[in-house]
Structure 1
Amino acid sequence: MLDNAITLLLLLSTLVASSLATTARVLIYSATADFRHDSIPTAIQALQSKQSSFGIQFENTEDKAQFTDQILAQYDALLFLDNTGEVLDDSGKAAFQKYLNLGGNYIGIHAASDCLRNTTFYGNEVGAFFDYHPALQNATVDVIDASHPSTSMLPAQWHVQDEMYNFKTDPRAIGATVILSANESSYVDTGTHLGQGTPHPTGNSSNLVPAAQLNENILLAWFQEHGAGVEDNGSSGRSFYTSLGHLNETWQDELFLAHVFGGITWTLQSNTTLAFNASAQVGNPVASTSNSTSSSSTSMLPTPSSSPSAMISCPSIDKFSVKFMIVSVIVAACFPWLLRL
């Protein structure tokens, strides 16, 4: 009986191990051409430090030459971190556009809305371009949608010290769903809003209103189930953007990191990349091979040579839970004696 129990336990461990095979690959791109945040290294380290908690392989680069069709095709998401200015050339933009068209996912953090300002598809993918922000100060962030994985852990009114971004357009106009906003009554903003839609002015000069006269909510974070940066014939992945993340201290705050990782994991669950869909056209080819039931081979693609990386491995919660429940039911039904050991 003991031998049978050991055999069964080995079988169970094999099943559990198979649920850990999925690893999503994310490229962090932190190149800057204008203002540079000194919190970028801290942010990268903070993302890497969660290696025991998330099934993600992070790699980072600031080399725009890495934006080629072949290299981008290896990633399940591109994470733009605090980018400013013209951080891609025309060939890089074309590769980025193709990546999105093939189902690639996008994540933008903080100043990611202040780069590639004249590139229409990028503005649509991030949701809106940065306009200005008032002085760094304490503010109250309101959770608009507490059901999203990036907000479910947050208090209804989240008190933060950060830059409250204003944007040139309303991200809801291209299909984004707003999940966080900043209550303007909680901080001082003497600037002039431009084009953020209801409840804000529409953006033409006759409707500009000083922020001090408003008692409304500024949009801070949103998501797109289907990223709007995709061309008409493309197959869109997901897009997530949060404007928070200015300070080094912010990236050392576990609640903020939970917000960011909630957005990242939600984005990766688009089912449009190889980490979770063996028939996808972009994503981690290793994950595709391990998860596929076919015997098709996957060629090895070049890896950015200048990119420090961190392997982050843990079970995919949904898949692990389902498999564990199924195995538990089988054990209880077919091997009740094992429970008495």
Structure 2
Amino acid sequence: MKQTLYLILFLFMIATTQSQNQTPDLKILAFSKTAGYRHGAIPQSLIALGQLAEQNNWKIIATEEGEIFTPENLSSFDLVIFVHATKDILDAQQQEALKGYVENGGGLLTLHTGADTEYDWGWYTRAIGASFVGHPPSQEGKLIIEDRSHPATAHFPDSTWVVTDEWYSFDRNPREDVHVLISIDEDSYDVDDNRWFEGAQQRMGDHPLVWYRLVGKGKVFQTALGHEPELYHNPLFLQHLKGAILWTATEE
């Protein structure tokens, strides 16, 4: 009798552990169209997303064809990811389709360049929270992990992370309208080096880099991290990306 009870408890523990470790089945649209600067890390980004999809039983469709942005098509996806998208990538009808998708409960995650996209589309810039103005050359910087309770940050072993990347500056501080997860210490890198963006005011003081907000019934997650191809082999960054996907794509 005891052996039977132990076996039942053992099987229950296995089932519970497996249930806790399982991730939801997701269908993801990875959109990497560019109308401005084209980042060299796009191939590595798509490979990394494909590997995450394979590991977690997600289905991912990668495209640069804007025609996929229709209400009917988007309704089949749990998440849209802008993968280093830049400048004006959607026409008016496609914009309306994405807006409706998000406001009715869809998820939008922008990887690295979300703030460098669709500058003239008011709904989008408000949803993202800020627009890109410039950056210095890639260099080491100290990130401040402000909220370690979120799936995109809970894995960090400390409240700071020193890493090399391209550090974006924005036209405004979005903190009042978003929930900031990660910011950067401007004293840890040469924020004033605007050699590629003459006249840009890159110093922000309080300098968020990763944040999220709710838009209608949907979620928008913006991470400015991810310029350097090497990051797509970094376990901390990959876990950051996985957590961002899970949170943005699923209902709370």
Give the TM-score range, shorter chain: 0.7 to 0.9
2: CA distance, partners of 1:165 / 1:67? 28
> Could you tell me which residue of structure 2 aligns to residue 160 of structure 1?
163
- The C-alpha deviation readout for 1:71-104, integer Å capped at 9, x for no partner, is 1111111111111111001111111111122211
> Could you tell me which residue of structure 2 aligns to residue 327 of structure 1?
none
Q: Which has the higher contact order (CA 8 A, sep 6+)?
A: 1
- The C-alpha deviation readout for 1:184-241, integer Å capped at 9, x for no partner, is 111112258xxxxxxxxxxxxxxx9773xx8x442110111x12xx4xxxxx211211
* Cα drift, residue 126 of structure 1: 1.9
1: CA distance, partners of 2:59 / 2:95? 24
* Cα drift, residue 180 of structure 1: 0.5
Q: Please give the secondary structure, in 2, of the residue aligned with 1:49.
A: helix
Q: Tell me whether 1:169 sits opposite 2:150 in the alignment.
A: no
* Cα drift, residue 112 of structure 1: 1.9
Q: Tell me whether 1:57 sits opposite 2:46 in the alignment.
A: no
> Could you tell me which residue of structure 2 aligns to residue 39 of structure 1?
41
- The C-alpha deviation readout for 1:3-27, integer Å capped at 9, x for no partner, is x99xx9xx98xx88xx679512111
> Could you tell me which residue of structure 1 aligns to residue 69 of structure 2?
67
CA contact (8 A) 1:238 1:270 kept: no
Q: How many residues align?
A: 236
What are structure 2's unaligned runs of at least 5 residues? 195-199
- 1:47-126 equivalences in 2 (<5 Å): 47-51=49-53, 53-126=55-128
CA contact (8 A) 2:133 2:202 kept: no
Q: What TM-score, normalized by structure 2, do the two folds share? A: 0.84
What are structure 1's unaligned runs of at least 5 residues? 193-207, 231-235, 272-341
1: CA distance, partners of 2:160 / 2:193? 24
Q: Please give the secondary structure, in 2, of the residue aligned with 1:84.
A: coil
Q: Please give the secondary structure, in 1, of the residue aligned with 2:218.
A: coil
- 1:1-341 equivalences in 2 (<5 Å): 22-51=24-53, 53-154=55-156, 155-173=158-176, 175-190=177-192, 211=203, 216-224=205-213, 226-227=214-215, 230=216, 236-271=217-252
2: CA distance, partners of 1:250 / 1:147? 22
- The C-alpha deviation readout for 1:286-309, integer Å capped at 9, x for no partner, is xxxxxxxxxxxxxxxxxxxxxxxx
Which is further off, 81-90 or 21-30? Answer: 21-30
**Identical positions, percent:** 30
2: CA distance, partners of 1:61 / 1:81? 10
Q: Which amino acid aligns with 2:175?
A: R
For the aligned residue pairs, the C-alpha RMSD in angstroms reads: 2.7
CA contact (8 A) 1:106 1:125 kept: no
> Could you tell me which residue of structure 1 aligns to residue 197 of structure 2?
none
Q: Please give the secondary structure, in 2, of the residue aligned with 1:91.
A: helix
For the pair shown, the structure with the greater C-alpha radius of gyration is 1
2: CA distance, partners of 1:52 / 1:82? 21
